[in-house]
Structure formats: C-alpha cells, structure tokens
Amino acid sequence: MIIKGSIFGRHFGFSYYKSGKKDIYGYTNRCDDGKFIVFLDYDDIPLSWIKKEIVYMQEDFNLGTFYILQSSENSFHCVCFSKVKREELINILRNSSVDDNYYLIPNTIGRKLLTLRLTNKRGMKPIFLEKIERKSNILESYEHKKFFHRWFNIIDDGDVNRNNDLKHKSIIQFSNYKVKE
C-alpha cells in the first residue's frame, strides 16, 4: 500500500508492505533542494562521548543545534537541521564515531540518503533526551524541524512556528523496511 499526501503543508509519500519480517518506519534526511540534514546513529557508545563529539562537530563544521534521542538501550540518534551538501555530510559522518556501514551502504546503493527509525527497537521507541544548542549561519530544514518537534512532543523553541519564506523547502520522506530483530 502506498499513501501520498501532505503534512504541515509539504508533500510526502509513505509506503507499507506486509511481510513475514517486522516493519520498521523511519524518516529521511534529504531536502528537496538536494541538500541533507545531519543524522547520526550511534550504537554502544557512551552518551558522554557522543555529547563531546557533537560539540566538536558543531565547531569544526559550523553546525547548529543537535537533538539527541535514545533509540534503544545503549543506542542514540542525533539530528541537526543544518542543511549541508552530500559531500559535506559524508565528511561529517567520516569524522564521527558512527558505524561506517551507516553511511557507506546508503551511499553505494539506493537513493543515497539516510534514514532514522521512528518505530520500536528491542521494545523501545526513540525518545528525546536533550539538545546541544549552537547558533549557525547555515540554513535549516524547518519542515524537518517542525515534524521532529511534533513527533517527539518537544516544546516549541520559538522558531519552529515562524513563517519560513526560504526559497528552498524540504520534503519529509518516510521509509519502510523489513528486518528481523
């Protein structure tokens, strides 16, 4: 089944296929202007290490605020809404402690975009933990940010609801995978 529609005034596609494996849903990092927001997926790395690494990346790559989610026990997702070119994203990922397969596989096959899971993993849904704030002059994907704030029930930080008249808007894309857990 394929569902198409709009959310927050932006078009999206959502596909669902029933299989013997568990259905996993997520959202992607690509913007319709060809840029990407930063997704990081950490497994078995202490949160204290991740926080220090994020501060380093914010300074080194001029990135804005990062949002940290706990995706399962000892696993974390980090999202930054600063829009970067694909080459910059690869450089950011290479300089992080994420598993190489997280960015190498999607960049060699498929649509060359990253996905973060929205559904349960080992009985736990991703939950918002905290944000590491930093101002940046890089444009953000406000559509991704609005979706993220609403999905994870994050209290509005002031700029999520402002009118955004940027030339390039972002389209939230959803993905569906079947995996055995």
pLDDT, tens only, 49-72: 999 999 999 999 999 999 999 998
Which residues sit opposite 57 in a β-bridge?
none
Helix (H, G, I), strand (E, B) or coil at 161: coil
Res. 92: pLDDT tops 90: yes
Radius of gyration of the chain (CA): 16
Phi, psi of 151 (to 5 degrees): -65, -40
pLDDT-based confidence at residue 181 (cuts at 50, 70, 90): very low
Structure tokens at 141: 């994907």
pTM of the model: 0.76
Q: Residue 99 has what pLDDT?
A: 83
Residue 104 DSSP code: H
- Encode 142-153: b = buried (16+ Cβ within 10 Å), e = exposed: bbbbbbbbeeee
* Better pLDDT: 58 or 117: 58
The Cα angle at residue 13 between residues 147 and 32, in degrees rounded to 5: 70
Report the half-sphere exposure of 122 (CA within 13 A, side-chain side): 6
Q: Residue 38 has what pLDDT?
A: 95
- Encode 8-24: b = buried (16+ Cβ within 10 Å), e = exposed: eebebebeeeeeeeeeb
* Better pLDDT: 89 or 104: 89
Each residue's pLDDT tens digit, 161-178: 444 434 344 445 555 554
Helix (H, G, I), strand (E, B) or coil at 51: helix
Structure tokens at 77: 């997702």
